Structure 1
Amino acid sequence: MSQPQIETTTTVPIRHQSGTIRRWSAFYKRLAKNKAALVGAAIVLVFVILAIFAPLIAPYDPKLVDMPKKLQTPSAEHWLGTDEMGRDILSRLIFGARVSLTVGVLSTLLGAIIGVFLGIVAGYYGRAIDSVIMRFCDVLLAFPGILLALAIVSILGASTTNVIIAIAFFAIPTFARIVRGSTLSVKKLEYIDAIRAMGSSDSRIIFKHILPNVLSPIIVQSTLYIASAIITASALSFLGLGTQPPTPEWGAMLSDGRHLVRSSPHVTLFPGITILIVVIGFNLFGDGLRDALDPKAKK
Structure 2
Amino acid sequence: MSARSRAPESAEQPESPAAADPGAKAPGQRSGPDDRSLKQIAWQRLRRDKVAMVSGIVVVLLILAAALAPLLTKWFGYPPTQFHQELIDPVRRVPYVDPDNPGLGTDPWGAMSSDHLLGVEPTTGRDLFSRIVYGGQISLIVAFLATLVCVALGTVMGIIAGYAGGWIDTLISRAMDIFLAFPLMLFAIALVGVVPDGLFGLEGNGLRIGVIVFIIGFFNWPYIARIVRGQTLALREREFVEASRSLGASTGHILVREILPNLVTPIIVYATLLIPTNILFEAALSFLGVGINPPTPSWGKMLSEAVPLYQQAPYFIIVPGLAIFVTVLAFNLFGDGLRDAFDPKTSD
TM-score of the two chains, using structure 2 as the length reference:
0.77
Among the aligned pairs, what percent are the same residue?
40
Do the aligned partners of residues 139 and 152 (structure 1) sit closer, same or farther apart at CA in structure 2, a change above 3 Å counting? farther
- How far has the Cα of 1:143 moved from its partner? 3.0
> What SS does structure 2 have at the residue aligned with 1:178?
helix
1:54 equivalent in alignment to 2:69: yes
Q: How does 1:202-281 map to 2 (within 5 A)?
A: 202-281=251-330
> What SS does structure 2 have at the residue aligned with 1:268?
helix
> What SS does structure 1 have at the residue aligned with 2:297?
coil
**Aligned partners of 1:99 and 1:249 also within 8 Å:** yes
* Distance (Å, rounded) in 2 between the aligned partners of 1:22 and 1:218: 19
- How far has the Cα of 1:244 moved from its partner? 0.9
Instruction: Name the structure 2 match of 1:38.
Output: 53
Instruction: Name the structure 2 match of 1:65.
Output: 83
* 1:108 partner amino acid: T
**Aligned partners of 1:116 and 1:175 also within 8 Å:** yes
> What SS does structure 2 have at the residue aligned with 1:295?
coil
- 1:70-109 CA-partner distances (Å, limit 9, x unpaired): 4321321323221221101111001111111111101000
* 1:119 partner amino acid: G
Aligned residues: 281
TM-score of the two chains, using structure 1 as the length reference:
0.89
Match of 1:74 among 111, 114, 129: 111
88-97 or 148-157, which moves further after superposition?
Answer: 148-157
* Distance (Å, rounded) in 2 between the aligned partners of 1:148 and 1:47: 30
* Distance (Å, rounded) in 1 between the aligned partners of 2:141 and 2:36: 31
**CA-based RMSD:** 2.0
- How far has the Cα of 1:52 moved from its partner? 1.1
151-160 or 286-295, which moves further after superposition?
Answer: 151-160
221-230 or 140-149, which moves further after superposition?
Answer: 140-149
- How far has the Cα of 1:275 moved from its partner? 0.1
Instruction: Name the structure 1 match of 2:166.
Output: 127
- How far has the Cα of 1:48 moved from its partner? 0.7
- 1:6-51 CA-partner distances (Å, limit 9, x unpaired): xxxxxxxxxxxxxx99554332211111111112101111111111
- How far has the Cα of 1:154 moved from its partner? 3.8
1:159 equivalent in alignment to 2:208: yes
**Aligned partners of 1:81 and 1:266 also within 8 Å:** no
Match of 1:197 among 226, 233, 246: 246
Query: Gaps (5+ residues) in structure 1?
Result: 1-19
Compare relative contact order (CA 8 Å, sep 6+) and give the higher one, 1 or 2.
1
Match of 1:94 among 119, 125, 133: 133
- How far has the Cα of 1:199 moved from its partner? 0.3
* Distance (Å, rounded) in 1 between the aligned partners of 2:344 and 2:41: 12
* 1:112 partner amino acid: V
Instruction: Name the structure 1 match of 2:189.
Output: 150
Q: Which of the pair has more CA radius of gyration?
A: 2
Identify, as 1 or 2, the structure richer in helix: 1
Q: How does 1:5-44 map to 2 (within 5 A)?
A: 22-44=37-59
Do the aligned partners of residues 50 and 113 (structure 1) sit closer, same or farther apart at CA in structure 2, a change above 3 Å counting? same
* Distance (Å, rounded) in 2 between the aligned partners of 1:89 and 1:51: 15
* Distance (Å, rounded) in 2 between the aligned partners of 1:228 and 1:94: 19
> What SS does structure 1 have at the residue aligned with 2:224?
helix
236-245 or 23-32, which moves further after superposition?
Answer: 23-32
- How far has the Cα of 1:151 moved from its partner? 4.0
Do the aligned partners of residues 155 and 127 (structure 1) sit closer, same or farther apart at CA in structure 2, a change above 3 Å counting? farther
